Structure formats: C-alpha cells, structure tokens
Amino acid sequence: MASEAELHVDIVPWGPSPQAVRAAATAALEHPAVRAELGDADSRLLSAVPVESQGDPGAEPDHVRATVYDYMNERVVIVEAPIEGPAHVNVTSTVKQPLPSGDEFIAAVAAIEADDDLGAPLSDGRLVAYRPMPPVVIDELEDGSVQRTIAVGLRPTDGKGEAHEIVGVRAATGELRRFDGGAPRGAIAAPQMCGLPDANQPTVEEGEPGAAKITVTRGGELLWSFVAVRPAASSGTNGSGIELRAVAYRGKRVLRRAHVPILNVRYDADACGPFRDWQWQEGMIKADGSDRAPGFRLCAAPAKTIFDSGSDVGNFLGVAVYVEGDEVVLVSELNAGWYRYISLWRLAADGTIRPRFMFGAVADSCVCKVHHHHVYWRFDFDVVTGAHNAVREFNDPPLQGHSSRWHTLRHEIRRAKLASRKRKWRVVNRVSGESYTLIPGPEDGQRDSFGVGDLWALRHRPSAQIDDGVGFTTDLDQARAHVDDFVNGQSIYDTDVVLWYGAHFTHDIHAEHEAGEDHGHIVGPDLVPAGW
C-alpha cells in the first residue's frame, strides 16, 4: 500500500546559480554610478546576496545586493542591480557596521602575524586565531565616526605560556588595538574556557547562493512541495537559518514563508554581551551523500552536527536532507563566533511540521557564564489561501468570560505560553475549514524581560516585517526582539496572518556537564494539520 512505502525526496536547483550572482555583482561594481560613488577609495566587496522579486518568496530572485566597505570614508556602500545585467543600479550608503567577511578576517590575522609581540607565537602555533564575539568592535569616536575594527581571538594551544587574548585590528590600516583585561567590552578572555574543541574549519560568505525546489512523494503520491533556501542565502538583516518558502502539503498551501529572523542572547549580570546573533554563517557538518543543488546534499543516513557527534569537524557546508522514518529532515549548522546553532526542520508524512533549533558552543571563556538564548520563528501562514485565515487560541481551563476552551483572536496581539492553561494556537481557513495548530514544545521556556514575548499574532504586510531591522549589536535595548513594534491593533480575522513564536533556553554549561549533556539543547513547537 502507498501508506507503507518509503518517502522519496527529489531536489532540483532553484533560482540563479552562484556563478550568475557573482557575475552580476562584479558587473554592478563596474557601473559608472558605482565608480563615481567610490572614487579612488580603498574598498572591498563584503557580500553579494540574491534578492527575491519584490518580496515574493515564491518567485526566483531577480536582483543582487552587493555590500562594499569604503575604508577611506568608513562607510558601507550598498549596490542593487538586476541579475540579468546592471543597466540600472541603485546605490545607497550607511555607517552601520556589517559583519566581517572571510577576507577581512584573514587580513586581520595577517596583520597580527606581522606584529612584533604577537606575530611570533601566532606564526609558530603557540597561539591559534579564532573568530570571537563581538566580531567587530564598535566604539564611536568623539567626532561621531566609527573606525572599522575586526576582532580576532588568540587562544593558547598548550594552556600555559601565552595568554588568552582578543585583539582588534583596524581594517583600514592594519593597526592593532589591545584592550584592558585582554578583551573588548562584552567579551572575556580568561585562562578558563568551556565548550567543545573549536575545529576552526571553513565557513561560507554571507549571501552564498543556494536554493532548491524539494518534493516529497510516497508511492507516487505527492505529499510535500516547497522551496528551501540555505542559511547563507536566507532573507533578513541577519539571515534566518534554513528558510522554507511556498510550503504546500498534499497540493494545498500551508506557509508562504517560515524561518528564524531573530536570535539573541543575554548573560547573567551582563558578564558578556548581550548579543544579537546572525543566522547565515554555515558551519561544517558530517553529511555523506550526493549534491543535488548548490548547498544541498541528499543523504542516505542522518547527517551529524556538533549536537549529535560532540565534534566541531565536518565535511559539508550547507543543508543536509535525509529521510528518517516517516519524516523528511533538513538540517544545517550555524556559526556565530563561539556559538554553534542547529537549524532543523522535520516534515512528516501526516503533515506535521516540527521546526527545531539547538544551542551549543565551542571553547571560550564567555560560555562558562550562565546565559539565556532566545530564538524567534516567523510563520507566514497561507492556510489553503493567503486570505480568509483566522487565529484561534486554546485555554484549559477557559479564560474568564469564555464558555469554550477555544476563542478567536480578533486583532493583533502578543500572547504568553501559559503552560498552566495548556495554551496553543490554531490558524484556520474560515471558508474551507483546513487548519494548522501551533503547539509549544515542552522545553521552549517562558519569556523574561529580555526575551520579551512568546507569541505574536499579526496581519501580513507585503514586503514588510520580515524582521525588526536590527543587525548585529551589543546594545541591550537594540539586541532585544522588537516584534512588539509590529502590533498596532489591526484586524487578523478573515485575512492573511503571521505568527511569530519565541522559545527561550538557559544555557548553564556546568549543569550540563554534571548531567552528562555536553552538546547543547533543543527547542521548537509542532505545527499539526487538521482537515487536510
């Protein structure tokens, strides 16, 4: 019978090729308008990102966004141009500091190797360079300007002799900056380090193209179809992990887009950070199989991340796809300084979607301190259609003034999980009756003053509110999730709706060791269909 057959996964490339994106970015930077903007300034291309067509996740990207750093004027120049050819370009500039590119970090390490004090121990292996948090040192000068300074961690290899230190390298000149206490504000460089060994393996550059159209069948019957985007090419200010677009189950649309646009962490007593993290920098995982699209590998056996193996070593950068029982699994590992995050989706034959996020770390001093991670999924529901959707909430016992355990949320609102009421939420198509219920995971935690919220029910706004627009930062107020800014009381009844869902995890590495759990922690809700 078809129900007993194995799941079959088909993966084909989707969107522009990496070669096309790079060619478009190179051509755009030669456009006269760009040359006039940059002049003779020393500059570097930091990233080239494919941009989706007018915010439509179901349409292939048709533009490229090139981010260039102008070291003479300490500013970012952003160039957008059509992939098919830069007949017209849009050029803007900003002083907001982007994350360092791989080439910038390599140049910073080379500057340290030339230093009279630190060069010898780094060159002969007594010190090993690593990417720390914060990745850039953002200190405003008296005149309001910011000198782009790349942070480089220097870890002693033998635990004695050389000191653990994080130094800054001014990108424009190669000048070294050393800090009181051995680390910039927001970091610690102490002899004690916690976490798994750091393999210092390669990662990808921001914007590295890679997307695939994935279909899942069983016995010839179509179950799932969707577009998956690798983290490096995912949308949003900081990327958003493995991103799913145009998700359909049994031929009916479920989600327009599903991803993790916001990820942050705060330490007890602000011992380090706080940090607004990024979700595009893929780390190595162990995945054996065949490459079916740029950044996508189909595997016959489950891939292994640092969470599974306890090792920071791998052989693949991107998204591994495999079948496990009645589920298709997509998994990728993310690096953010010393943090290791796992972005994972499970799509079951019965229509259940299990988004998961895992938290771990490699050796460093900050992770010895207790800290609190917060991850925020954005589920842009289109249950059957992008219209006629409504949000219902379940409470057991019912809320005061309600005779039923289910009631409809009429206007945009933020809601708490309230395990005491077994609270969950359902998005239903009012016309046809199909629905998906979001059930909080048992380990998803509760909001706090920094974690700010558990769930937001919002009205969909085209080409807007993909995230809150905050890039990497160590500022406490900015690092918080600003989803509350989207709540303005508009109707969410019989329309197109979006749910944001937050999970919260306290990471105490010493308690993990005592419990024999050294690799991390997993959170995430279940999305369960009905009426399909």
DSSP secondary structure string for all residues of 248-305:
EETTEEEEEEEEEEEEEEEEGGGSS--EE--S--EE-BB--EEEEETTEEEESS--B-
Residue 436 counted as domain residue: yes
pLDDT score, position 527: 98
241 and 268 share a domain? yes
Would you say residue 524 has pLDDT above 80? yes
Contact between 41 and 72 (Cβ < 8 Å) = yes
342 and 484 share a domain? yes
| 151 Cβ neighbours under 8 A, 6+ residues apart | 131, 132, 133, 134, 135, 136, 137, 166, 167, 168, 184, 187
| 28 Cβ neighbours under 8 A, 6+ residues apart | 34, 64, 66, 79, 80, 81, 86, 89
Between 83-92, 305-314, 373-382, the lowest mean confidence (pLDDT) is in 83-92
510: CATH:
2.70.98.20
How many other CB atoms sit within 10 Å of the CB of residue 285? 26
CA 194 to each of CA 144, 202, 348, 363, 509: distance values in angstroms, whole numbers, following the listed order: 37, 22, 36, 5, 8
Count, in order, helices (H) and strands (E) of the chain: 7, 32
Residue 189 counted as domain residue: no
Would you say residue 348 has pLDDT above 50? yes
164 and 218 share a domain? no
Average pLDDT of the residues in 328-335: 98
pLDDT score, position 90: 95
Query: Omega of the bond prior to 442 within 30 degrees of 0, cis?
Result: no
230 and 356 share a domain? yes
401 and 441 share a domain? yes
Would you say residue 514 has pLDDT above 80? no
Residue 49 counted as domain residue: yes
Per-residue burial over 87-117, b if 16 or more Cβ lie within 10 Å, else e, is eebebeeeeebbbbbeebbebbbebbeebee
Between CA 153 and CA 363 the distance in angstroms is: 11
pLDDT score, position 509: 81
282 and 338 share a domain? yes
Residue 444 counted as domain residue: yes
Average pLDDT of the residues in 346-358: 98
Q: How many domains does the chain have?
A: 3
Contact between 188 and 360 (Cβ < 8 Å) = no
Between CA 472 and CA 299 the distance in angstroms is: 33
Q: Which of 94, 128, 153 is the last residue of a domain?
A: 94
225 and 118 share a domain? no
Confidence of residue 2 (pLDDT cuts 50, 70, 90): very low
Would you say residue 59 has pLDDT above 90? no
Strands (DSSP E) found in 71-159: 75-82, 90-94, 127-130, 136-137, 149-156
pLDDT score, position 54: 67
- Reported as a single tens digit per residue, the pLDDT across 173-231 is 999 999 999 999 999 999 999 999 999 999 999 999 999 999 999 999 999 999 999 99
Q: Is the dihedral of CA 178, 181, 187, 188 positive or negative?
A: positive
Q: Which domain does 511 fall in, by range?
A: 211-530
Nearest to 48 by CA among 233, 262, 229, 212: 233
Residue 113 CA from chain centroid, whole number:
32
pLDDT score, position 297: 98
71 and 119 share a domain? no
CA 232 to each of CA 93, 145, 475: distance values in angstroms, whole numbers, following the listed order: 23, 30, 25
Nearest to 390 by CA among 353, 322, 436: 436
Q: Per the structure block, which two tokens stand in for 188?
A: 């610690």
Confidence of residue 1 (pLDDT cuts 50, 70, 90): very low
- Reported as a single tens digit per residue, the pLDDT across 123-133 is 999 999 999 99
488 and 446 share a domain? yes
383 and 237 share a domain? yes
How many other CB atoms sit within 10 Å of the CB of residue 504? 22
Averaged pLDDT of the chain: 94
Would you say residue 280 has pLDDT above 50? yes
Between CA 65 and CA 57 the distance in angstroms is: 16
pLDDT score, position 428: 98
Residue 201 counted as domain residue: no
Give the DSSP letter of residue 146.
B
| Percent of the chain topping pLDDT 70 | 97
Between CA 418 and CA 422 the distance in angstroms is: 7
Confidence of residue 140 (pLDDT cuts 50, 70, 90): confident
Residue 203 counted as domain residue: no
- Residue type at 260 in one-letter notation: V
How many other CB atoms sit within 10 Å of the CB of residue 448? 12
pLDDT score, position 518: 55
Would you say residue 50 has pLDDT above 60? yes
171 and 311 share a domain? no
Nearest to 472 by CA among 135, 106, 147, 49: 135
136 and 156 share a domain? yes
Confidence of residue 96 (pLDDT cuts 50, 70, 90): confident
Confidence of residue 158 (pLDDT cuts 50, 70, 90): confident
Confidence of residue 409 (pLDDT cuts 50, 70, 90): very high
Residue 164 counted as domain residue: yes
Confidence of residue 517 (pLDDT cuts 50, 70, 90): low
Between 10-24, 139-153, 266-280, 327-341, the lowest mean confidence (pLDDT) is in 139-153
Average pLDDT of the residues in 56-74: 90
Q: Which of 73, 94, 115 is the last residue of a domain?
A: 94
Residue 192 counted as domain residue: no
Query: Omega of the bond prior to 134 within 30 degrees of 0, cis?
Result: yes
| 526 Cβ neighbours under 8 A, 6+ residues apart | 352, 353, 354, 438, 439, 441
Q: Which of 76, 94, 112 is the last residue of a domain?
A: 94
58: CATH:
3.10.450
Give the DSSP letter of residue 157.
S
Average pLDDT of the residues in 480-494: 97
Residue 188 CA from chain centroid, whole number:
24
